[in-house]
Amino acid sequence: MNDTTMLLIEVGGLLLGMGMLGRMASRIGMSPIPLYLLAGLAFGHGGLVPLSAGEDFFEVGAEIGVILLLVMLGLEYSADELVGNLRKSALAGVVDGLLNALPGAAFALLLGWGPVAAVALAGVTWVSSSGVIAKILRDLRRMGNRETPVMLSILVIEDLAMAFYLPLLTALVIGAGLVEGARTLLIAVAAVLVILYAALRHGHAISTLFSPREPEALLLGVLGLTMLVAGLADRVNVSAAVGAFLVGIAISGPVAHHASELLMPLRDLFAAVFFVFFGLATDPGEMVPVFLPALGLAVVTMATKTLTGYLAARRAGIAVSGRWRTGLGLTPRGEFSIVIAGIAVGAGVESQLAPLATAYVLITVVSGPLLSRVPDTAWFKARVRRRAATA
């Protein structure tokens, strides 16, 4: 069989299996994310039946999935809401960085990996996965909850911080001079400011490029603009996810509403592809030696991330259940953590950093959707009511 035939068979078979897994997850009332990850592990490097032709499709699809998840998040909120939430959550962003980056840095130093690896592992444990969390919010129908803007503000602050952190890390791992490192960082800062300015000041003009009465042209136009801005942002070392999110913020009114409806099926498809590809790219054998250290690090930093969200929600006046939903919902790490580890390992910083980061991310991505459901359980709500009654 030629490559195209094998591609169709592998992709078709895996998508069909994912559909069955998604239906099973819906029947038993759980998020399908852990099942998609396990499917990827089964058919990835070191899995039961490794794919030979379909991996490239899933790699590209995974990139599109993250972009669609973030533009859809942006479409839910206006530019004014974004600015207001960022101002309110600035302190929460600082607390988030301190509570979650320092454990990673300390862990690397305890292992004797050196200061550059410590900076890299600090980033791995600091930043939550916007893509995973967006999927969880959708699955659990929490987009309209009072605590959701608090969560999104923290995620946006983290993503924007990555626009400055990634160029800095790249300069450190390759041993770039002060001038070269500063130049890279200035380009990233300028790109973020330009995208923010366009989204906040000229969002209405951007929306007029599209017509809600022409669905086909609207779908193609919004999707094309999103991918174009995401690609340009990534080109200058700014996160593609940040670019996609800000495109969603810039589009408003009826255009945003109709674009959300048109993009929803595409988002669901490619978001599922993103989670499967994460498993496909993971070799279970490499994670075995570092699984216990990764588990210990995951427990510590999931606790600090929960504390981050709880404190931020309390400061915003959210009720106790909402505080826990905020904290537990922020625990998954994902695409940025893997990118950070890849940058460090590719430059020869520490060979064990990649499998450790992969195991760490996998633990948080599997447990995060499960933990996110805890505040909605009957026993948890009863416990909150009893504590409130005795307070």
Please answer whether residues 283 and 77 qualify as being in contact, where contact means their C-beta atoms are separated by less than 8 angstroms: no
| Residue 350 belongs to some domain of the structure | yes
Rounded distance, CA 159 to CA 297, Å? 22
| Helix%, strand%, coil% for the chain, nearest 5 | 80, 0, 20
Element (H, E) at 172: helix 148-173
Give, for all 391 residues of the chain, the pLDDT tens digit.
Answer: 567 888 888 888 888 988 998 888 777 766 677 788 788 878 877 667 777 767 778 888 888 887 887 788 778 777 666 677 677 778 888 999 999 999 999 999 998 988 888 999 999 999 998 878 888 888 888 888 888 888 988 988 887 777 678 777 777 776 655 566 667 667 767 777 776 777 777 777 888 888 888 989 999 999 999 999 888 877 776 667 777 877 887 887 888 889 988 998 888 888 888 778 777 777 777 788 889 999 999 999 999 999 999 999 998 889 888 999 999 999 998 777 877 877 777 667 777 887 888 889 889 988 888 898 898 888 888 888 888 777 6
Residue from 305, 319, 212, 298 nearest 262 by CA: 212
| Residue 384 belongs to some domain of the structure | no
| Residue 155 belongs to some domain of the structure | yes
The whole-number pLDDT of residue 121 equals 93
Rounded distance, CA 133 to CA 138, Å? 9
| Residue 5 belongs to some domain of the structure | no
Q: CATH number for the domain including 342?
A: 1.20.1530.20
Rounded distance, CA 200 to CA 304, Å? 32
The token duo for 117 is 């690896």
Taking the alpha carbons of 116, 327, 369, 261 in that order, is the dihedral positive or negative? negative
Element (H, E) at 3: helix 3-28
298 to each of 109, 179, 231, 358, 384, how far by Cα in Å?
17, 36, 31, 11, 26
Rounded distance, CA 78 to CA 35, Å? 34
| Residue 61 belongs to some domain of the structure | no
Roughly how many angstroms between the first and final C-alpha of the chain, as a whole number? 70
Which residue is associated with the tokens 């969200």?
Answer: 309
Q: What is the CA radius of gyration of the chain?
A: 21
The token duo for 286 is 């490499």
| Residue 8 belongs to some domain of the structure | no
Please answer whether residues 72 and 251 qualify as being in contact, where contact means their C-beta atoms are separated by less than 8 angstroms: no
The whole-number pLDDT of residue 172 equals 76
Please answer whether residues 251 and 206 qualify as being in contact, where contact means their C-beta atoms are separated by less than 8 angstroms: yes
Please answer whether residues 232 and 188 qualify as being in contact, where contact means their C-beta atoms are separated by less than 8 angstroms: no
| pTM of the predicted structure, to 2 decimals | 0.74
Neighbouring residues of 341: CB distance < 8 A, sequence distance ≥ 6: 120, 124, 353, 354, 356, 357, 358
Rounded distance, CA 21 to CA 351, Å? 34
φ, ψ dihedrals at 108, nearest 5°: -65, -40
The whole-number pLDDT of residue 105 equals 94
The token duo for 52 is 């030979």
The whole-number pLDDT of residue 295 equals 95
| Residue 250 belongs to some domain of the structure | yes
Q: What's the total number of domains in the chain?
A: 1
| Residue 26 belongs to some domain of the structure | no
The whole-number pLDDT of residue 175 equals 65
Its domain, for residue 229, covers: 67-282+289-376
